[in-house]
Copies of this chain bind each other. A is one copy, B any other.
Amino acid sequence: MTVPRYTRLIQSLPASVPFVGPEEQERTRGAPFAARLGANENVFGPSPKAIAAMQAETLEIWKYGDPTSFDLRNALAAHMRVQPQNILVGEGIDGLLGYLVRLLISQGDAVVTSDGAYPTFNYHVTGFGGIIHKVPYNGDHEDPAALFAKAKEVEAKLVYLANPDNPMGTWHAGTVIAQALNELPEDCLLLLDEAYVEFAPEGTAAQVDVEDPRIIRMRTFSKAYGMAGARIGYAVGAEGLIRNFDKIRNHFGMNRMAQTGALAALNDQDWLAQTQAKVSQARDRISRIAGDNGLTILPSATNFVAVDCGADGDFARKVLAALVARGIFVRMPFVAPQDRCIRISCGRPEDLDLLAEALPLALAEARK
């Protein structure tokens, strides 16, 4: 007799985790990283006003946070030009992905995503027993037409599309996404992950009717707003869909400092503009560093850059290992042919100085 008696689904799940954190890598290697450029964190950090707001809120931390995130949700609604009932605040996009999958997917239900797209989405789908169908990238871009055709073929309940994309940093114009929606099966929900959209050119966010029941979008304070450690994301969608999250979500799950900090961050769009400029400069610098080493980069609409190491995945994995060994935390795509690249987050000038030093050595070591 085994106790406890896990569900059959839980017994079938692998023990693997989506990502190993840099702290664990640091403990394994016995030294801290010199540059933290692997998790697409925003090293430029949040608005000083957000920091001040969080520091002040520590004095109120004895209180639970507002389970409706009323103030933040209203501010986000104004920002997104929708109604507050179109917004759900949650524990990062990762948390919201879990809730959304739980709402739609039970054992055997079909889900479509790109091969090599965000692993944590797949983790949640598998965790609720869904069957993942993958389509390849098209020229290092997500391929809306192929995704939606596959969704039709397998009668998918849910399809995942990130715009801009992670891990490649590529993007489609919002009009391309909106146009492709015509091919989305009528009974399929599109999850549009816009985690990086604030870094993208004007017009990347698709203009869609928020009450269109076929689409939900997710955004975050982890990237452009520099608050990854606060765990705060939001979903924007039709009122009926947003309301259904209330059936299952952890109502008192939001950290109070995170709520307050996010509101202050949202209200400091000047800081956001400065961050966007710094990220743009960092992308250019990474491009120059790559070029200095005979490598090319993929154009990026995010706060990271995929650097094409010019050979196959095995070679890129060697380059990555050699960078990590030199204290440069980076990650890379999982799937060929995208795994010919390594993915470098936009660091400060001093972080990229370290990259510039380490990359030629890493390449030489990989070529040995």
Contacts of A61 in B (CB 8 A): 45-46, 51, 54, 226-230, 261
B257 touches A54 (CB 8 A): yes
The answer to whether A31 has its CB under 8 Å from any CB of chain B is: no
CA distance A91 to B19 in the complex (A): 19
Residue numbers in B under 8 Å from A106 (CB-CB): 7-9
Interface-centre pick from A3, A15, A54, A91 (highest chain B CB count, 10 A): A3
Instruction: Give the Cβ gap from A6 to chain B, nearest Cβ, in Å.
Output: 6
Is B62 a contact of A229 with CB atoms below 8 Å? yes
In the complex, the answer to whether B5 meets A247 with C-beta atoms within 8 Å is: no
Within the assembled complex, what's the spacing in Å between the Cα atoms of A3 and B66? 30
Q: Tell me whether A251 and B62 are in contact in the complex, defined as CB-CB below 8 angstroms, given that A214-B3, A229-B257 are known contacts.
A: no
B10 A248 Cβ-Cβ under 8 A: yes
Do A13 and B95 touch across chains, with their CB atoms under 8 A apart?
Answer: no
Which residues 221-271 of A sit at the B interface, judged by CB distance below 8 A?
222, 226-231, 241, 243-244, 246-248, 250-258, 261
Q: Give the interface size class of chain A.
A: 35 or more
Count identical subunits in the complex. Answer: 2
Q: Is the CB of A41 within 8 A of B54?
A: no
Q: Which residues of B contact A144 (CB under 8 A)?
A: none
B19 and A42 contact, CB distance less than 8 A: no
**Cross-chain contact of A6 among B21, B57, B91, B244 (Cβ < 8 A):** B244
Chain B residues with CB below 8 A from A7, complex form? 102-106, 109
**Docked CA distance A227–B61 (Å):** 5
A315: interface (CB < 8 Å): no
Interface of A is mostly: loop
Task: Judge whether A293 is part of the interface by a CB distance below 8 angstroms.
Answer: no
As a 0/1 sequence over residues 324 to 335 of chain A, the CB contacts with chain B under 8 angstroms (1 = contact) are 000000000000
Inter-subunit contact A45/B21 (CB<8 Å): no
Closest to A97 in B: B250
Q: Which of A183-233 contact B (CB under 8 A)?
A: 186-189, 213-214, 222, 226-231
Q: Is A59 an interface residue (CB 8 A)?
A: yes
- Min CB gap A9→B, angstroms: 7
| Contact A15/B64 with A103-B7, A106-B9, A255-B230 known, Cβ cut-off 8 Å | no
Which residues from chain B contact A246 at a C-beta distance below 8 Å? 15, 17
Q: B-facing mask of A92-106, CB < 8 A → 1, else 0?
A: 101100100011111
10 tightest CB-CB pairs across the interface, nearest first?
A: A229-B256, A4-B189, A23-B66, A255-B255, A61-B229, A7-B106, A13-B247, A45-B62, A55-B55, A21-B67
Which A residues are within 8 Å of any B CB, using their own CB?
A: 1-10, 13-15, 17-19, 21, 23-24, 27, 36, 39, 41-46, 51, 54-55, 57-68, 70, 91-92, 94-95, 98, 102-106, 109, 127, 157-158, 186-189, 213-214, 222, 226-231, 241, 243-244, 246-248, 250-258, 261
